[in-house]
Structure 1
Amino acid sequence: MNLLYRWPDAAQFGSRISKEKFYQHGTIPAAVREKIVAEVRRITWAYKLAEATVNLPGSDVVPEIQVFRIDAKDTDVSEPVLTAIDKAIPFPIVFEISRGQGEAERIRMVAAHKQLGSDAPRLSAYYSTGWQPADTERRPLPTVITLPALYTALLEPLTPVAVRPGEDVSEVAAKLDAARMLEREIAALERKLRTEPQFNRKIELRRTLKTKQAELDALR
């Protein structure tokens, strides 16, 4: 999938963040700190989507949306690094990861559905576009009337579940959780089916597998 958004000029923030702010954080495991050092060349807080910059009201769930640009040292930035950054910032984040330079530069957009709460933020799995040329034509932001709706609309093309009009971040996150659980159940059933010697048991497993696949298809 090719997808990059044209972020509003009024929302440009352009603040470079020292990597030390993340890998010196006491709660980040040593292995993840090493990944940040090895994988990340530069972190830029590129855009801040807030009521003051995009004229959309926020909420306790989505008070602002941040866009972080990460320049990779090599071919990519791994999910543990993204998770460490995501958990350190108390707002939803959309990442743009860049690799290569000049005509060879490629960018992918990646994000997890992030639910804020009184405790640590809760993250879904990460979903991403493919790598695309840095000069890919960018789409305008979705037309919505609130920041929570914008957040859901920004991430909808990335996620493997259908998002119905009016659904909020928590509802989408619940669907993603259900989809991941069904995917695990389907994989387990397929493994059992391959090794099950009894014909009657195979029929039962196939019936259960068909039901689970239908449930997953309904979410998508």
Structure 2
Amino acid sequence: MLFPEKTEFKKRIPKQKFYTNMEITSNLKKAFVEQIKIIYWQNKLTSTTLNIDKGKSVLEIEVIEIKLNSKNLDKMVLSKIDKCIPYHILFLLEYEGMYQAFISYKEIENEKIKVNKYYHTQWLEKENLPCKVEGLNMDSVYENFIRQIAGAELNVGSEEKKNLKEDIEQAEEKKQLEKQISALQAKIRKTKQFNRKVELNNELKKLKKMLEKF
């Protein structure tokens, strides 16, 4: 059991609820119909059910388990569910007894929902998922879920943790810089003109120096 018995909710949600009478593309509706078998609202993590302090931005964390017909799931399905439910969500995807945990950095302000990129684990046995309830309030429990699931992807810069939003922005900045370096290296390999090659190599050195800061 991943979470305390007191948090159990165990309510089946008809998948049709997310695409009937809602604006949705035909491709996304097809993903709901073909890729998903069953959706369960398994747990409600709250300050009361976890016996911790309330959060400033996180009131509840819903644990949604999605049983799949294959290992593939369009991530826009998760985004659609996230935008329909005005609470923070931890997704558990199940296929043939193996699980993946998915979570996004989700911001909710003035009833407006902004869903950031998703972080996920490898396929694991359920009891091995890195989803430990850690923290003295709901904000820190949610932040720690993201850090556990993201793992090394958010482990950038100094060992001292900044706030979660800053860490996510820094990790994304590093990722974009690595993409630029990779693209520039490919360009250098294709360039025949010596002077142009020198220019590109100088640019590459600057980018690598920027990357060293992370």
Please tell me whether residue 155 in structure 1 is matched to residue 150 in structure 2: no
Q: 2:15 aligns with which of 19, 25, 31?
A: 19
Instruction: Please tell me whether the aligned partners of residues 42 and 63 of structure 2 are also in contact (alpha carbons under 8 angstroms).
Output: yes
Aligned residue in 1 for 2:72: 76
Instruction: Please tell me whether the aligned partners of residues 188 and 201 of structure 2 are also in contact (alpha carbons under 8 angstroms).
Output: yes
Instruction: Please tell me whether the aligned partners of residues 64 and 89 of structure 2 are also in contact (alpha carbons under 8 angstroms).
Output: yes
Ranges in structure 2 where 5+ consecutive residues have no aligned partner? none
State the one-letter code of the partner of 1:161.
Answer: L
State the one-letter code of the partner of 2:78.
Answer: L
Q: Which SS does the other structure have where 1:6 is aligned?
A: coil
Aligned residue in 1 for 2:183: 188
In the TM superposition, what are the counterparts of 1:1-220 in structure 2 within 5 Å? 6-24=2-20, 26-100=22-96, 105-118=97-110, 120-134=112-126, 136-137=127-128, 141-159=132-150, 160-162=153-155, 167-213=162-208, 215-216=210-211, 218-219=213-214
Distance 1:140 1:156, change over 3 A: closer
The Cα RMSD (Å) is 2.7
TM-score (norm 2): 0.83
Distance 1:66 1:199, change over 3 A: farther
1:180-220 Cα offsets, whole Å, 9 max, x none, are 4324423432332232223343344334334435545654x
Q: Which SS does the other structure have where 1:121 is aligned?
A: strand
1:148-177 Cα offsets, whole Å, 9 max, x none, are 111111111332122765533322332243
Whose Rg is larger?
2
Q: What's the CA shift for 1:108?
A: 1.1
Q: What's the CA shift for 1:70?
A: 0.4
Instruction: Please tell me whether the aligned partners of residues 50 and 63 of structure 1 are also in contact (alpha carbons under 8 angstroms).
Output: yes
What is the distance in 1 between the residues matched to 2:25 and 2:147? Answer: 31
Higher relative contact order (CA 8 A, sep 6+): 1
What is the distance in 1 between the residues matched to 2:21 and 2:182? Answer: 37
State the one-letter code of the partner of 1:17.
Answer: I
State the one-letter code of the partner of 1:201.
Answer: R
State the one-letter code of the partner of 2:149.
Answer: L
Instruction: Please tell me whether the aligned partners of residues 94 and 111 of structure 1 are also in contact (alpha carbons under 8 angstroms).
Output: yes
Ranges in structure 1 where 5+ consecutive residues have no aligned partner? none
State the one-letter code of the partner of 1:43.
Answer: I
Q: What's the CA shift for 1:54?
A: 1.0
